[in-house]
């Protein structure tokens, strides 16, 4: 106590006093000498300037006269002026006259220019004067050393005085207080702590600390008394609790056990527990069937001086008696050393069974192919299983906290309102239906069942939703319906081709007979030829319409997609010009050729392009055709800037005889024929449309 520890505060105080004072002194000295040094340089520089200004007129005249002797005399007079160490006259950057040492190690130079008029030419002259400032630098350095030494002595004298005063005023009293506290016995009432001071000395912070320590001692004695009074109550509490509580000393011998511990350990009385070593009473193992995995929770808590807990172990009383338990061990301290431990043992068989069932249920929900979403009473999502994450494409962090009604758009169902939805859940009924929802990959259809969860007061605490994606089933159903429609159209087209082909054959025969038997004028021949050509076009259209829904039988050729598109645009070029429609084509170079039926591809592109032109008629617009490879598909995109297709009509676009025109201007078979044609060659047609902004149709052709 009388050595290093007592003087530690005073030593630190003196150390920092010396450091701070030395730093301030050093900074102040450096700043002062810096200003003194520059002030001296300014005075010398001013002196040099006065000398050069005074002698420049005389030197100008002498240099003009070419009187070298006089110039040297002037420079000699300048050199006699202290503290000038060098003087020179420079004309046109050449030194003509100089005196003194030109290469000064530390010099200050002053240059005064003047002009020399020689033979009507001006020459630049300079009077250069320099002085050696080495004496100034030496003076500043010696003054700096002198300042540091003098101030350093003052600082150490003050630091020593502060150290002695702190020892006398503070340290000795703190040492006396520590000695009295160390010898104090809290179980009996000792004399109060007092400082050895003169009676007339005024109270200071040390007296306030002594008063506080005496008050703390009184409170500690009161607390000890209360602890002794509550010790018996604590023992009674230990006996009343259902947990087995065992107290052991540092060597592991039992010093206390409550009634529950005696019952768990299957002993008849306290004598069978108290005084016994804990290892002879029970063994705590991690696994019930592996004796090698013994736990060291009790010894570890005493060795490390911290609590230890295990909820997964087993209490082995005998080979036939093994109990699933939760065990906790808390170290007991006495004079800052571990003197023992208190062990809490609880039979948790029922709790483990519940946890096991919870884990099984959680695994079943996580591995379920159905989507499970749990929300709170305010419809904020609290849990989603892995199927929901896979289906939506969002991460759990992106889903949790969102509203259930925005994540799954229940308003897509029939007759949905939030009020009716809440009313139905509060009544204890489930809500179910097929709704449309959005994922990261687009819109899908879900069949959902949403049920409420109530607490014991009848309030909704959670909402559980179970969802199943039915987009595939719906698509199969739509495909089946569409196939039935296509079969009906196929039968209709066959009948139409037969009924329409016979009269058309007769008309063609009549036209041919007339052209061969009659002598016609040139205009009549042109009309008959035109009628024959149109009949041939109608015959070709009937044949294509008849075969459109059958598998492709025409040979697949490697065709140039650009030539096909250019051919279609060439046929309708006049129509594009009349409607004021601008057309652009953009194809990937590697997607310019592929193998497909040219006739059927031409038919599909023509029908879709004509449909796009009709969407922009009488208003003009822009038609953009693009082509690119995407995996195993060649995709041709045809985009228009028409009025688009209303959302409620988009499902009917490929229906036969369906048309969005207000008046019947066609048969409504253009897109249906294109759709059936692509199906016949193993492809498909998709589209996207925004009302008022236009539509884009995508022709998907499989790559052979």
The pLDDT confidence band at residue 381, using thresholds 50, 70 and 90, is: very high
Instruction: Write down the pLDDT at residue 2.
Output: 45
With a cut of 70, say whether residue 451 has pLDDT above it: yes
With vertex at residue 576, the alpha carbon angle to CA 573 and CA 577, rounded to the nearest 5 degrees, is 90
In sequence order, which residues have a C-beta less than 8 Å from that of residue 441 and are 6 or more positions away? 393
Tell me the average pLDDT across 281-299. Answer: 70
Interior/surface letters 645-668, b for 16+ CB within 10 angstroms, e for the rest:
beeeeeeebbbbeebeeeeeeeeb
pLDDT for the residue numbered 490: 62
In this structure, are strands 84-91 and 121-132 parallel, antiparallel, or unpaired?
antiparallel
How do beta strands 581-587 and 621-630 pair? parallel
Q: What is the pLDDT of residue 484?
A: 63
The pLDDT of residue 496 is: 63
Contact 619, 629 (CB under 8 A): no
pLDDT of residue 545: 59
**Would you say residue 544 has pLDDT above 60?**
no
More confident residue, 228 or 33: 33
Residue 552 has pLDDT above 60, yes or no: no
The closest of 370, 372, 392, 391 to 381, measured between CA atoms, is 372
User: In whole numbers, what is the pLDDT of the chain averaged over residues?
Assistant: 78
Place of tokens 């009309």: 527
Cα separation of 416 and 407, whole Å?
Answer: 16
When comparing pLDDT for 661 and 526, which is higher?
Answer: 526
pLDDT given at position 698: 92
Q: What is the pLDDT of residue 638?
A: 92
665 three-class SS: coil
Report phi then psi at 320, rounded to 5: -95, -10
List Cα–Cα distances, 194 to 5, 181, 616, in angstroms.
21, 11, 105
Q: Provide the token pair at 651.
A: 């499902």
Tokens matching residue 626: 């693009």
**What does the block give as tokens for 558?**
């490697």
Q: Are 132 and 83 in contact, with CB atoms under 8 Å apart?
A: yes
Compute how many other C-beta atoms are within 10 angstroms of the C-beta atom of residue 96.
13
Of 44-53, 381-390, 405-414, 673-682, highest mean pLDDT: 381-390
Q: Cα separation of 390 and 370, whole Å? A: 11
Q: How sure is the predictor about 666, in pLDDT bands with cuts at 50, 70 and 90?
A: very low
Neighbour count for residue 537 (Cβ, 10 Å): 10
Task: Tell me the C-alpha to C-alpha distance, in Å, between residue 396 and each of 304, 371, 383, 462, 488.
Answer: 40, 13, 8, 18, 48
- Given this model, what pLDDT does residue 292 score? 47
Indicate the pLDDT class of residue 357, thresholds 50, 70 and 90: confident
In Å, how far from its chain's centre is CA 382?
A: 21
Strand partners, 128: 88, 111
Instruction: Give residue 84's Cα distance to chain centre.
Output: 72
User: Cα(436)–Cα(432) distance, rounded to whole angstroms?
Assistant: 13
Model confidence band, residue 375 (pLDDT cutoffs 50, 70, 90): very high
Q: What is the dihedral of CA 167, 173, 176, 180, to 10 degrees?
A: -150
- The residue assigned the tokens 């076009």 is 537
For 6-10, 57-61, 85-89, 588-592, which range has the lowest pLDDT when averaged over its residues? 6-10
Q: Are 585 and 565 in contact (CB under 8 A)?
A: yes
Torsion of CA 481, 482, 486, 489, to 10 degrees: 80
- Asked whether residue 687 carries a pLDDT value surpassing 60, the answer given is yes
What are the backbone dihedrals phi and psi of residue 696, each rounded to the nearest 5 degrees, phi first?
A: -130, 120
Per-residue pLDDT reduced to its tens digit, 480-530: 666 666 666 666 666 666 666 667 777 777 777 777 777 777 777 777 777
Instruction: Tell me the per-residue pLDDT of 596-605, one tens digit each, with 9 for 90 and over.
Output: 777 788 888 8
Please indicate, yes or no, whether the overall pTM of this predicted structure exceeds 0.75.
no
8 Å CB contact between 195 and 176: yes
- pLDDT grade for 376, boundaries at 50, 70 and 90: very high
| Percent above pLDDT 70 for the chain | 82
Label residue 433 left, alpha or beta by phi (over 0 means left) and psi (-120 to 50 means alpha): left
């Amino acid at each position: 106590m009388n050595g290093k520890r007592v003087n530690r505060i005073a030593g630190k105080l003196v150390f920092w006093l010396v450091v701070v004072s030395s730093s301030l002194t050093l900074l102040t000295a450096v700043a002062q000498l810096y200003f003194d040094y520059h002030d001296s340089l300014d005075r010398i520089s001013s002196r040099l300037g006065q000398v050069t200004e005074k002698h420049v007129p005389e030197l100008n005249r002498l240099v003009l006269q070419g009187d070298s002797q006089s110039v040297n005399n002037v420079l000699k007079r300048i050199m006699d002026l202290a503290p000038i160490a060098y003087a020179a006259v420079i004309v046109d950057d050449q030194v003509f006259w100089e005196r003194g040492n030109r290469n000064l190690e530390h010099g200050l130079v002053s240059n005064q220019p003047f002009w020399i008029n020689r033979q009507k030419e001006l020459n630049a002259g300079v009077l250069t004067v320099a002085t050696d400032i080495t004496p100034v630098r030496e003076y500043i350095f010696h003054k700096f050393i002198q300042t540091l030494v003098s101030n350093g002595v003052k600082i150490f004298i003050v630091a020593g005085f502060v150290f002695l005063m702190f020892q006398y005023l503070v340290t000795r009293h703190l040492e006396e207080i520590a000695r009295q506290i160390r010898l104090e016995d809290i179980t009996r009432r000792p004399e109060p702590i007092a400082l050895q001071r003169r009676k007339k000395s005024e109270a200071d912070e040390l007296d306030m600390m002594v008063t506080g320590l005496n008050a703390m001692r009184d409170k500690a004695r009161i607390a000890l008394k209360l602890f002794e009074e509550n010790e018996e109550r604590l023992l009674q509490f230990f006996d009343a609790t259902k947990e087995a509580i065992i107290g052991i000393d540092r060597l592991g011998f039992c010093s206390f056990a409550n009634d529950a511990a005696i019952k768990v350990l299957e002993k008849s009385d306290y004598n069978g527990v108290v005084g016994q070593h804990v290892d002879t009473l029970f063994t705590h193992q991690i696994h019930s069937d592996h004796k090698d995995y013994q736990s060291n929770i009790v010894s570890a808590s005493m060795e490390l001086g911290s609590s230890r807990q295990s909820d997964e172990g087993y209490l082995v009383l005998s080979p036939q008696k093994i109990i699933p338990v939760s065990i906790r061990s808390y170290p007991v301290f006495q004079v800052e050393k571990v003197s023992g431990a208190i062990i809490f043992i609880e039979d948790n068989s029922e709790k483990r069974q519940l946890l096991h069932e919870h884990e099984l249920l959680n695994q079943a929900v996580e591995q379920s192919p159905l989507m499970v979403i749990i929300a709170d009473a305010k419809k904020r999502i609290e849990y989603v299983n892995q199927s929901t994450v896979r289906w939506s494409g969002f991460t759990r962090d992106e889903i949790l906290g969102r509203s259930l009604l925005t994540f799954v758009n229940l308003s897509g169902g029939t007759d949905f309102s939030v009020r009716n939805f809440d009313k139905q859940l509060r009544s204890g009924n489930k809500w179910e239906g097929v709704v449309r929802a959005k994922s990261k990959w687009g819109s899908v259809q879900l069949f959902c069942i949403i049920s409420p969860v109530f607490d014991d007061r009848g309030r909704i605490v959670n909402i559980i939703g179970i969802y199943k994606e039915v987009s595939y089933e719906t698509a199969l159903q739509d495909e089946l319906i569409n196939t039935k429609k296509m079969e009906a159209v196929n039968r209709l087209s066959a009948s139409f081709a037969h009924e329409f082909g016979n009269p058309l054959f007769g008309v063609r025969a009549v036209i041919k007979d007339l052209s061969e038997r009659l002598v016609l004028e040139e205009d009549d021949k042109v009309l008959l030829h035109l009628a024959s050509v149109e009949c041939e076009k109608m015959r070709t259209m009937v044949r294509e319409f008849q075969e459109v829904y059958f598998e492709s039988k025409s040979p697949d050729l490697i065709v140039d997609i650009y030539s096909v598109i250019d051919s279609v645009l060439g046929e309708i070029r006049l129509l594009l010009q009349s409607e004021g429609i601008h057309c652009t084509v953009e194809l990937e170079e590697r997607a310019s050729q592929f193998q497909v039926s040219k006739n059927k591809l031409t038919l599909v592109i023509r029908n879709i392009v004509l449909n796009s032109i009709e969407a922009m008629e009488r208003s003009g617009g822009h038609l953009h055709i693009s082509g690119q490879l995407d995996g195993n598909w060649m995709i041709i995109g045809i985009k228009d800037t028409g009025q688009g297709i209303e959302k409620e009509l988009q499902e009917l676009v490929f229906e036969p005889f369906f048309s969005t025109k207000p008046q019947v201007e066609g048969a409504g078979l253009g897109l249906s024929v294109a759709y059936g044609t692509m199906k016949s060659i193993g492809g498909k047609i998709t589209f996207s449309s925004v009302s008022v902004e236009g539509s884009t149709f995508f022709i998907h052709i499989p790559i052979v």
